[in-house]
A and B are shown apart, each in its own frame.
Chain A
Amino acid sequence: MPDEQPQPTQTAPSNPAWERVQLARHPKRPHALDYIQRIFTGFMELHGDRAFADDAAIVAGFGKFDDRPVAVIAQQKGRDTKQKLHRNFGMPKPEGYRKAMRIMRLAEKFSRPIITFLDTPGAYPGIDAEERGQAEAIAVSLREMSRLEVPVVSVVIGEGGSGGALGLGVANRVYMLENAYYSVITPESCAAIIYRDSGEAARAAAALRLTAQDLLGLGLIDAVIPEPPGGAQLDYDATAAAIQQTLRGALDALRPMNAASLVEDRYNKFRQMGNLFLSQEAG
């Protein structure tokens, strides 16, 4: 284990899961565009869902990875207050998922691999998002990503907040940074439900088994990408280099596959997820 500086927490003095959640939300943690700048050359951002608006919580476009064109789609958080508001704290709305789907279809049309970066506390829970079909936008994204005839690789770089994150995460290969988390519910909401106290988030974080190592152990991701000692916020370049190396390996493995086997590979990957049940006598 790298000798991390443990974050001071009153509730749980040694709770690695909660420490990682805090690192995943660290104010200085690199966001998607920090990695995009370092990993891709000539990134061209494209905007809008052609139906309602452009959602700044999702960045989408094309760029070059090792001199070969790829599509990049990422959830983006802001750094200062103004940016945070502009990016809606990294919480996409339906138009964000619809923009993402538009760019993914473009990538498929022109046979470009797709790389997605996941980093959201969750899809935006607001009146306007519900009115425009937040659930429908995510659902369609899940189904349509499973149909894409090009390689898709996802990396959870910070917060993997439930369906909002998964909406960009139906990939042939899924990786997580060492201090990222991926969960069905935020620790705070989970604590509010089961302990009737959102202050018990640390306890909930441990119970939810949401760290990269946990997901690897549950067979839900392909590998954990190591971060520099102390966390990604201490060395953007080294973290970007580690992601780049992982992406290179994944794309090298997926590029030779034809369209049908890419779809089948992705299908089989998710088909076996959670094959964790036992036969029992009914009742």
Chain B
Amino acid sequence: MAWFNRQKPGVEAPPDEGGRKVRTEGLWEKCGHCDQIIWRKTLEEAMQVCPKCEYHFRIDARTRLALLFDNGEYEEHDEKLGSTDPLKFVDSKPYAERLAAMRRATALPDALISASGTMNGRRVNICAMELKFIGGSMGAVMGEQITRAIERSARERVPLVIVSASGGARMQEGAVSLMQLAKISAALMKLDEAKVPYISVMTDPTTGGVTASFAMLGDLNIAEPGALIGFAGPRVIEQTIRQKLPEGFQTSEFLLQHGFLDAVVKRSDLKEFLCRAFDLLMN
């Protein structure tokens, strides 16, 4: 094999080219939908929406809150709650370790930020989910944060927005997660009776127990364009019915067409839409 493997070193590895290579990593982003290469700064200015095809990139909870609140300023609530790992759950690694790693990676205690601030001068409570934190999954901590935000809204008569981005209930907390669906839905019953408006904003993706509870219980239910929204995930449905799903199934536009959304709202219009809606519903 000597003819095949070069014996002299230095030929395979190019010489140190640190000096002549222009580093471009992180400057450009490829659109996940139309493959357009976009300068990252342009993308930021467009609120992480592709300028060519309007594909809405997923954004994290902090970016979301900064886009919605006036001057990007808000105060956080219940940010010190942490999971107790009630099941002592172990999968490929112990849940407690997974949580610790996620906290380090996201600098968040769990998959949600509960915040208050103003939108065009009106005080609003906004809960925003963090998809990067175990898929935005809902366990006891998120359940409690949302319930407290609902109670705060009812008490202070401040409208509520919940921006969902989640795969559903958190498997690692078992039935404890499941019961958060009932707990939050019951709290929304009280907010409903207090006649304080709640708008649910669904973003890509919103599925499972999150959809089957508070995400579908807004006085208004709205979604960003092209988001995956459903009860069962597409793979589960395909396995059940053993055929491919039709194009566009379980998208925001599909839900709008079937009567489950009040509107599909572009990210650039979201703040204005929310403010106008609260103005029409309150005072």
**CB–CB A135/B212 < 8 A:** yes
Who on chain A is nearest to B141 by CB?
A: A277
**A244 interface residue, CB < 8 Å from B?**
no
**A106 interface residue, CB < 8 Å from B?**
no
Question: Residue among A123, A136, A184 with the most chain B CB within 10 A?
Answer: A184
Distance between Cα atoms of A65 and B131 in the complex (Å): 48
**B117 interface residue, CB < 8 Å from A?**
no
Distance between Cα atoms of A132 and B83 in the complex (Å): 35
Interface residues of A in 128-147 (CB under 8 A from B): 129-136, 138-140, 142-144, 146-147
Interface residues of A in 252-281 (CB under 8 A from B): 266-267, 270-271, 273-281
Interface residues of B in 133-163 (CB under 8 A from A): 139-141, 143-144, 147
Asked, given contacts A277-B141, A283-B107, whether A130 binds B231 with beta carbons under 8 Å apart, the answer is yes
Q: How far is the CB of A101 from chain B (nearest CB, A)?
A: 13
Partner of B185 from the list A139, A162, A218, A276 (CB cut-off 8 Å) is A139
**CB–CB B260/A184 < 8 A:** no
**CB–CB B260/A208 < 8 A:** no
**A190 interface residue, CB < 8 Å from B?**
yes
**A195 interface residue, CB < 8 Å from B?**
yes
Partner of A143 from the list B176, B178, B186, B231 (CB cut-off 8 Å) is B186
Chain B contacts for A279, CB-based, 8 A = 80-82
Asked, given contacts A207-B89, A271-B187, whether A277 binds B211 with beta carbons under 8 Å apart, the answer is no
**B266 interface residue, CB < 8 Å from A?**
no
**CB–CB B175/A278 < 8 A:** no
Distance between Cα atoms of A210 and B209 in the complex (Å): 17
Partner of B212 from the list A139, A218, A267 (CB cut-off 8 Å) is A139
**CB–CB B109/A163 < 8 A:** no
**B2 interface residue, CB < 8 Å from A?**
no
Asked, given contacts A170-B186, A207-B87, A274-B180, whether A125 binds B140 with beta carbons under 8 Å apart, the answer is no
Interface residues of B in 95-109 (CB under 8 A from A): 103, 107-109
Contact mask for chain A residues 94-129; partner B; CB cutoff 8 A; 1 contact, 0 none: 000000000000000000000000000001011101
Q: How far is the CB of B155 from chain A (nearest CB, A)?
A: 15
**CB–CB A183/B178 < 8 A:** yes
Distance between Cα atoms of A92 and B43 in the complex (Å): 44
**CB–CB B183/A274 < 8 A:** yes
Q: How far is the CB of B244 from chain A (nearest CB, A)?
A: 11
Partner of A133 from the list B81, B86, B260 (CB cut-off 8 Å) is B260
Binds A, one of B6-14, B58-66, B122-130, B235-243: B235-243
Q: How far is the CB of A127 from chain B (nearest CB, A)?
A: 7
Distance between Cα atoms of A194 and B246 in the complex (Å): 28
**CB–CB B185/A195 < 8 A:** no
**CB–CB B174/A184 < 8 A:** yes
Interface residues of B in 18-73 (CB under 8 A from A): none
**A220 interface residue, CB < 8 Å from B?**
yes
Partner of B171 from the list A127, A185, A215, A277 (CB cut-off 8 Å) is A185
**CB–CB A166/B182 < 8 A:** yes
**CB–CB A283/B109 < 8 A:** yes
**A44 interface residue, CB < 8 Å from B?**
no
Chain B contacts for A277, CB-based, 8 A = 81-84, 140-141, 144
**B90 interface residue, CB < 8 Å from A?**
yes
Chain B contacts for A283, CB-based, 8 A = 103, 107-109
**A282 interface residue, CB < 8 Å from B?**
yes
Partner of B181 from the list A126, A127, A142 (CB cut-off 8 Å) is A142
Contact mask for chain A residues 158-175; partner B; CB cutoff 8 A; 1 contact, 0 none: 000011001101100000
**B92 interface residue, CB < 8 Å from A?**
yes
Distance between Cα atoms of A244 and B105 in the complex (Å): 52
Partner of A271 from the list B89, B147, B230, B259 (CB cut-off 8 Å) is B147
Interface residues of B in 170-226 (CB under 8 A from A): 170-171, 173-183, 185-190, 192-193, 208-209, 211-217
Distance between Cα atoms of A140 and B174 in the complex (Å): 22
Chain B contacts for A190, CB-based, 8 A = 171
**CB–CB B236/A207 < 8 A:** no
Chain B contacts for A195, CB-based, 8 A = 91
13 A-B interface contacts by CB (under 8 A)? A129-B232, A146-B189, A163-B181, A182-B178, A184-B209, A189-B236, A270-B186, A271-B183, A273-B180, A277-B82, A278-B81, A278-B82, A279-B80
In the A-B complex, the 8 residue pairs with the closest CB atoms: A125-B232, A142-B185, A274-B140, A146-B186, A194-B91, A135-B211, A280-B82, A135-B231
Contacts A218-B176, A276-B140 known; list 10 others, CB within 8 Å: A127-B249, A130-B249, A143-B217, A208-B87, A208-B171, A214-B175, A266-B186, A277-B141, A278-B82, A282-B79
